[in-house]
Structure 1
Amino acid sequence: MTLHGLPSRILAGLNRPVSAIGAGCWTIGGPAVNGRVPIGWDGVDAEHSYAGLLRAHELGVTLFDTADVYGMGRSERLVGRLLRQTNRHDLIISSKVGYFAGTAEHPYHPGQIRRQLETTLTNLGTDHLELYFFHSDDFGPGDRYLDDALAQMRHFQRQGLITAIGMRAPHAFAVQWAHGPSTCLSAQRFLTLFERIRPQVLTARYNLLSPPYAPGETDIFDFARRHNVGVIIKQALAQGLLTGRHLPTLPRSFSDHDHRSTDPAFHPTAIAVVHHALNQIAKHFGGQPADLVRLALRYALHRDSDSPVLVGFRDSTQITMNLTCLGEPLTIQEIALLRRLAEPAAHVISHRPHR
């Protein structure tokens, strides 16, 4: 099944077809800081980004994922411009709440959630969201805001303001890690929140640098399928690390408004490890940016036949390449080879929890 040229997938939890590749709109928010924490991206031009949104829609993207803190509203407003030029009913719009407190005591204070949703809907120029995510798992000391925040989200559903409630999964997760003599706290925390929130959709990071799982371990995709919950895959290109554009011989510097300035994955040592893995991959598959992007996206698309994959972009050139380089699906043998070649870098980048 295709949607305007792109294959589609039925997202569990929403039970609607979405384009297999979705537009991840974090990047287009540009540089930003939230509470002195860098959360943005350098070198982003709003008009070029908007041209990218238009191009994504033209090429068949129906899933657009943004958040209130992506550019502190700029990303949502750009998506809102797109909605004014398109048929809103054909699109799946996702946004998030939970990192911006404003003048409230906490980002998940019910009043703050109400204000943030109102602002998000205004920014987007729409009266509803298909997906609204709990962006953070910090619900205050002792989870004091969790019950009220969840009640508020359920109220939004009853009002028709949102269709499905979403939640983030840990970057690395297996059900078995939450049990036993040496537990993984992030896995344990996720299971606790999942039982209380009962979301319809999860977002999960998955790419060539994700940790390998042992036989018998239940990862986030198998877990979600057991619970009839959808999964949206994010960071399939590892925020650009898998495109081959970050070179250890030409290290890049980032402003204090760019999240990469504090991300260990962008330290020169980590970039060198990834670069070496990409060189090995290039010997078998080609090393041009389009080759590497194709491999990364096809690898992510292969993991779960129902999960759409988000891809970031800055302009129409990037999103065009991302959407037109896919080619044929990878074979089982090619997937296995990619895993083997990327595994040394995955161990360095993924920070798989100790158990």
Structure 2
Amino acid sequence: MPTLERRVLPGLHAEVSVIGAGCWTIGGPATNRGVPIGWDDVDPGRAYAGLVRAHELGVTLYDTADVYGLGRSERLLGRLLREVRRNELVISSKVGYFAGTARHPYDPGQMRRQFATTLDNLATDHLDVYFLHSGDFGDDDQSLAGAINVMQDLREQGLIRAIGMRAPHTFAEQWAASDHPEEHKIARWLSLFHEIQPDVVTTRYNLLSPLYADGETDIFAFALSQGVGVLIKQALGQGLFLRNDQRLLATFSGSDHRHADPMFTEENRRLVHARLAPLRDRYGARPADLARVALRYVLQHAPDAAVLVGFRDADQINTTLTCLGDPLSDEEITEIRALLHPSTN
């Protein structure tokens, strides 16, 4: 079996597998302050088998969060960390959505308590990356300075190696100084970026992400210019790209985030399915066929980033990790963009 490719992640200055295990999905159903944040149909035994299979296939990067299953995801990953060499892995977790009984998730005391719980859940004495999971720092950003101080202190103590933060789903640096509709959002994010000074950012990027105009600096070029690493999420559209006709009518419980996510309305699922039809005709309709195209497209666009993929069992992660095959040719990438983004060509 081919060895999973590896890359050195800027900012962290560590080698990671190009595909990492995104552990949100294995947390199972959950709600936080009445908001659905989980995933249905997760069996802990099967989820753990997926973690084991990922490790067997060469995954060295694992990403979780305190709020994923309200600790269940971290504890499953901690079970794996008790069985393998910790120093061979890169582990990231997040803070910023779960407040407990504190006034705000970024209350310094709450952050430190959550960090201690995260280390305990993960059976480790340090994290490689610790993300500020939310961009909500309270009224007038009153919790921002305290949150930055906590993160910098954890890094100075060697308890974390790198500070992470989220990037917008769509981003061009030039939008912050223009009349673009997202001008204010991008300007605020850039302000936060320069104040927080993260080492790693995470962003959504996939086949359906917009193409940028000549002269626009996307998040990957921006991060590289800043010496910052990027972890890519939702490369498979949270599994939506791999759904067949029979699964388009699936329903979700009130503890599954898809229950309230506009991306997973029946109408949008059908629209995405129809939009990807040319790719199924060209490359094949099996999940492995579509996963290969989707992952190669992203990896080749962002050669300095790593991609996080979700899973709920060993079969799912096995399909994702063994489908990569050969890189797409330049002609294939051009064709894919023409098929999926005809109005920009």
> Shorter-chain TM-score: which interval?
over 0.9
DSSP-derived class of the 2:75 partner: helix
DSSP-derived class of the 1:6 partner: coil
Structure 1: how far apart are the matches of 2:343 and 2:142? 39
Partner of 2:145: 147
DSSP-derived class of the 2:6 partner: strand
Structure 2: how far apart are the matches of 1:35 and 1:344? 41
Identity percentage of aligned residues: 58
Asked if residue 30 in structure 1 is aligned to residue 28 in structure 2, the reply is yes
Partner of 1:339: 337
Give the conservation status (yes or no) of the 8 Å contact 1:175–1:218. Answer: yes
Give the conservation status (yes or no) of the 8 Å contact 2:248–2:269. Answer: no
Which residue type is aligned with residue 91 of structure 1? L
Partner of 1:63: 61
Structure 1: how far apart are the matches of 2:42 and 2:69? 10
Asked if residue 253 in structure 1 is aligned to residue 265 in structure 2, the reply is no
Partner of 2:230: 231
Which residue type is aligned with residue 202 of structure 1? V
Give the conservation status (yes or no) of the 8 Å contact 1:209–1:345. Answer: no
* Change over 3 Å in CA distance of 1:345–1:138 after alignment to 2: farther
Instruction: Within 5 Å, give how 1:63-82 maps onto structure 2.
Output: 63-82=61-80
Instruction: Within 5 Å, give how 1:269-288 maps onto structure 2.
Output: 269-288=267-286
Which residue type is aligned with residue 9 of structure 2? L
Partner of 2:44: 46
Structure 2: how far apart are the matches of 1:344 and 1:293? 22
Give the conservation status (yes or no) of the 8 Å contact 1:236–1:296. Answer: yes
1:345 Cα shift?
11
Decide which of 7, 17, 20 is 2:18's aligned counterpart.
Answer: 20
Which residue type is aligned with residue 163 of structure 2? I
Which residue type is aligned with residue 225 of structure 1? L
Partner of 1:158: 156
Structure 1: how far apart are the matches of 2:298 and 2:56? 23
DSSP-derived class of the 2:104 partner: coil
Structure 2: how far apart are the matches of 1:249 and 1:290? 16
1:342 Cα shift?
2.2
1:340 Cα shift?
2.1
Partner of 2:189: 190
Structure 2: how far apart are the matches of 1:110 and 1:70? 21
Give the conservation status (yes or no) of the 8 Å contact 2:248–2:266. Answer: no
1:249 Cα shift?
7.9
Structure 1: how far apart are the matches of 2:9 and 2:332? 26
Which residue type is aligned with residue 239 of structure 2? G
* Change over 3 Å in CA distance of 1:344–1:118 after alignment to 2: farther
Partner of 1:268: 266
Structure 1: how far apart are the matches of 2:165 and 2:173? 16
* Change over 3 Å in CA distance of 1:345–1:148 after alignment to 2: farther
CA-to-partner distance for each residue in 1:144-202, whole Å, 9 max, x for gaps? 01011101111101111100000000111111111123452321221010010010000
Structure 2: how far apart are the matches of 1:121 and 1:186? 33
Which residue type is aligned with residue 228 of structure 1? G
TM-score (norm. length: structure 2): 0.96
Which residue type is aligned with residue 135 of structure 1? H
Moved more, 35-44 or 269-278: 269-278
Structure 2: how far apart are the matches of 1:163 and 1:203? 16
Which residue type is aligned with residue 316 of structure 1? A
Structure 1: how far apart are the matches of 2:102 and 2:263? 33
Which residue type is aligned with residue 189 of structure 1? R
Structure 1: runs of 5 or more not aligned:
347-355
Give the conservation status (yes or no) of the 8 Å contact 1:97–1:135. Answer: yes
Give the conservation status (yes or no) of the 8 Å contact 1:248–1:275. Answer: no
1:11 Cα shift?
0.2
Which residue type is aligned with residue 273 of structure 1? L
TM-score (norm. length: structure 1): 0.94
CA-to-partner distance for each residue in 1:5-53, whole Å, 9 max, x for gaps? 2110000001010001000000000101000000000001000000000
Structure 2: how far apart are the matches of 1:200 and 1:69? 22
Which residue type is aligned with residue 49 of structure 2? A
DSSP-derived class of the 1:85 partner: coil
Partner of 1:353: none
Which residue type is aligned with residue 263 of structure 2? A
